[in-house]
Amino acid sequence: MKKTETAKVVSNKRITDGIFDLTLECPQLSVMAKAGQFIELYPDNGANLLSRPISICEAGENTLRLVFQVVGKGTDIFSKLETGSGVRVLGTCGNGYELKNGSALLVGGGIGVPPLYETAKQLIKKGIDVTVVLGFRSGCFLNDEFEKLGAKVYIATDDGSVGFKGNVVDLIKAKGLKADNVYSCGPKIMLKFLALYCEEQGMDVQVSMEERMACGIGACVGCVVKIKDEAAEDGWTYKKVCKDGPVFDSKAVIWE
């Protein structure tokens, strides 16, 4: 059951160009949070009434940590939130990852990296061997924090500024990386080719979709994706990323 809470800003800092690390004190929501879920954050501005969905990077005892990218007016407002100020939060939203037994390969692209941090933390707590592949256009962030958790980390950048030059799928192929379960989040094109390759290799993949969400609660039907459904007339149906996802079994997704 979702709850609305006025959260207190514990800290807010820029960690690299356009990327901010925001920690909120919100005890009601932090105890509900699961790896792969997101929250809806409301700008305190009369001109920007719509909430913004932001993935949960880490859930603490009484806090939620959000690592987000400034892409518009709403997220720009969040980047300027001051310590001690309040912000309205709705959560927790969506269905997160199913954390399975067996070795894990976590694959993130760009701003799809943050939600994998809590995922890695929970898997490692279960004693599972975790390998993380992070993809960026240039530079990187959070890689050192994954390493501190005990994960083995590989980095791919489009320009070769850090780690492997190329994309995450090319890196996985080059290094021969395999695992029993794959957990991923990032651009749709990355998820598509990652899923196709991993399925060929017999690896189960959970994909967290990044479709645009307006309401975040399944009311506006603005974030639908095609999902296979044998009971449907055409063999597929629309599912809402915000409500039925954002995490789906890759084999169920119809990639277009």
| Sequence spans of domains, the chain | 3-93, 104-212
Instruction: Give the pLDDT score at 49.
Output: 65
Contact call for residues 118 and 139 (beta carbons, < 8 A): no
For residues 26-31, give the mean pLDDT.
96
Express as a percent the part of the chain with pLDDT over 70: 93
pLDDT of residue 105: 98
Tokens coding 167: 């994309």
Q: Which CATH class for the 3-93 domain?
A: mainly beta
pLDDT at 169 > cutoff 60: yes
Q: What is the reported pLDDT for 212?
A: 65
Burial class (CB in 10 A: 0-12, 13-18, 19+), 31: exposed
How far the first Cα of the chain sits from its last, in Å, is 33
| Alpha helical stretches, state H, the chain | 27-30, 73-79, 115-125, 143-149, 168-175, 188-200
What's the Cα-to-Cα distance from 249 to each of 19, 57, 245, rounded to whole Å? Answer: 29, 21, 10
- pTM of the prediction? 0.95
For residue 238, give the 3-state DSSP assignment: strand
Binning pLDDT at 50, 70 and 90, where does residue 218 land? Answer: low
Of 161, 153, 184, residue with least CA distance to 247:
184
Predicted confidence at residue 234, as pLDDT, reads 86
Which range (142-151, 169-178, 214-223) has the least confidence? 214-223
Q: What is the mean pLDDT of the chain?
A: 93
Q: Has residue 186 got a pLDDT over 90?
A: yes
Q: Which residues of 50-81 are buried (b: 16+ CB within 10 A; e: fewer)?
A: ebbbbbbbbbbeebbbbbbbbeeebbebbbeb
How far, in Å, CA of 72 to CA of 55, rounded? 16
* CATH domain 104-212 topology: Rossmann fold (3.40.50)
At 108-161, the pLDDT tens digits run 999 999 999 999 999 999 999 999 999 999 999 999 999 999 999 999 999 999
pLDDT, position 252 = 95
- At residue 216, the pLDDT reads 62
Q: Is 169 exposed, middle or buried (0-12, 13-18, 19+ CB in 10 A)?
A: buried
* 3-93 and 104-212 share one fold: no
Question: What b/e readout covers 88-112, taking b as 16+ CB neighbours within 10 angstroms?
Answer: ebbbbbbbbbebeeebbbbbbbbbb
